[in-house]
Amino acid sequence: MTARILDGNALSAQVRGELAEQAAALTQRGVQPCLAVILVGDNPASAVYVRNKVAACEKAGIRSLKFDYPQDAEPAEVLAKIAELNADAGVHGILVQLPLPPRFDEKAVLEAIAVGKDVDGFHAENVGRLSQGQPAFFPCTPHGVMKILEYGDIPVTGADAVVIGRSNIVGKPMAMLLTQAGATVTVCHSRTRDLASHTRRADILVVAIGRALEVTADMIKPGATVIDVGMNRFPAGHPKEGKLCGDVEFEGASQVAGAITPVPGGVGPMTITMLLANTVESARRAADAGGR
Ligand code: GUN
């Protein structure tokens, strides 16, 4: 079998087009969606992610504000900026890029963001709302995965879903969204015994391990949908050394799976797209409430 490719670039282009129209309509109403992005320190990957987020905003007609702090910034200074942005009615979304330098209390920083502007969906109240099935901002990567499943017409209700990874950013909210959608969900992680015995039962396999090529064809149920959240580089000695790859060994997996996301061009573009979607949604709420 050769798997159907779930094209995150194509879906992303379509959704971003719709969001740009919505942003333009809101701007006409006097409420241009605005995202504030805070970057602390000199993590090179974070700098690239933030640059991509700001560029995507610009392309969609969303205003962006970027605040850079050095590695040795005072946490109080960053918290004061968050308080200022919380109080600014012209700002609809606030994002603090993670990870933060070690001296920061990450949880305290995330909790300082106003729940209604937490477009990353990392605030404990949004996490609680998600777990109770209440309306909330959902974390962007798992939310993007749900959109990919919807777009690919992948049945979720009643499906056996296996998520590998239990992070707050991907694994845990992914499990909650799939549960909400009616899947029977198993969460696997680094301490799971006999990982393959779980993955081989999965109709939907979401892989967020963070290491290259960990999931191989023999771990996949024939016809399953495989969603690869990984973003790594092929290791030294591999014929594609240095090029981008996921957590799944794509060549083999795509011979067994029924549908699969590529890396790059799968989940990655949808993460930023859902950030834009949450920001536009927050601006819409402000407009409907008569704000700006
Ligand atoms: N670091 C890695 N992924 C993310 C994300 O989705 N949002 C933020 N704020 N930081 C991250």
Every domain of the chain with CATH number 3.40.50.720 lies at 140-267
Q: Could you tell me the distance, in angstroms and rounded to a whole number, from the CA of residue 98 to the centre of ligand 1?
A: 5
Q: Would the CB of 97 count as within 6 Å of ligand 1?
A: yes
Residue nearest to atom 9 of ligand 1 (CA): 97
Catalytic residue among 32, 117, 118, 120: 120
Q: Would the CB of 120 count as within 6 Å of ligand 1?
A: yes
CATH superfamily to which 30-114 belongs? Leucine Dehydrogenase, chain A, domain 1 (3.40.50.10860)
Q: Could you tell me the distance, in angstroms and rounded to a whole number, from the CA of residue 235 to the centre of ligand 1?
A: 24
Q: Could you tell me the distance, in angstroms and rounded to a whole number, from the CA of residue 55 to the centre of ligand 1?
A: 16
Q: Which tens digit of pLDDT belongs to each residue from 104-131? A: 999 999 999 999 999 999 999 999 999 9
Every domain of the chain with CATH number 3.40.50.10860 lies at 30-114
User: Tokens at residue 163, please?
Assistant: 């998520």
pLDDT in tens, the chain (292 residues): 699 999 999 999 999 999 999 999 999 999 999 999 999 999 999 999 999 999 999 999 999 999 999 999 999 999 999 999 999 999 999 999 999 999 999 999 999 999 999 999 999 999 999 999 999 999 999 999 999 999 999 999 999 999 999 999 999 999 999 999 999 999 999 999 999 999 999 999 999 999 999 999 999 999 999 999 999 999 999 999 999 999 999 999 999 999 999 999 999 999 999 999 999 999 999 999 986 6
Catalytic residue among 22, 97, 118, 172: 97
Active site annotation includes 53: yes
Q: Would the CB of 229 count as within 6 Å of ligand 1?
A: no
Q: Would the CB of 110 count as within 6 Å of ligand 1?
A: no
Residue nearest to atom 8 of ligand 1 (CA): 97
DSSP the chain: --PEE--HHHHHHHHHHHHHHHHHHHHHTT---EEEEEEES--HHHHHHHHHHHHHHHHHT-EEEEEEE-TT--HHHHHHHHHHHHH-TT--EEEE-SPPPTTS-HHHHHHHS-GGG-TT--SHHHHHHHHHT---PPPHHHHHHHHHHHHTT---TT-EEEEE---TTTHHHHHHHHHHTT-EEEEE-TT-SSHHHHHTT-SEEEE---STT-B-GGGS-TT-EEEE---EEPPTTSTTTTSEE-SB-HHHHHHH-SEE--SSSSHHHHHHHHHHHHHHHHHHHHHHTT--
Report the nearest atom of ligand 1 relative to the CA of 98: 10
Active site annotation includes 71: no
Query: Tokens 């969001």 belong to which residue?
Result: 19
Q: Could you tell me the distance, in angstroms and rounded to a whole number, from the CA of residue 292 to the centre of ligand 1?
A: 27
| Best CA proximity match to 14, nearest among 141, 204, 140, 152 | 152
Residue nearest to atom 2 of ligand 1 (CA): 98
Residue range 140-267, CATH number: 3.40.50.720
Active site annotation includes 28: no
Q: What is the pLDDT of residue 292?
A: 61
Q: Would the CB of 47 count as within 6 Å of ligand 1?
A: no
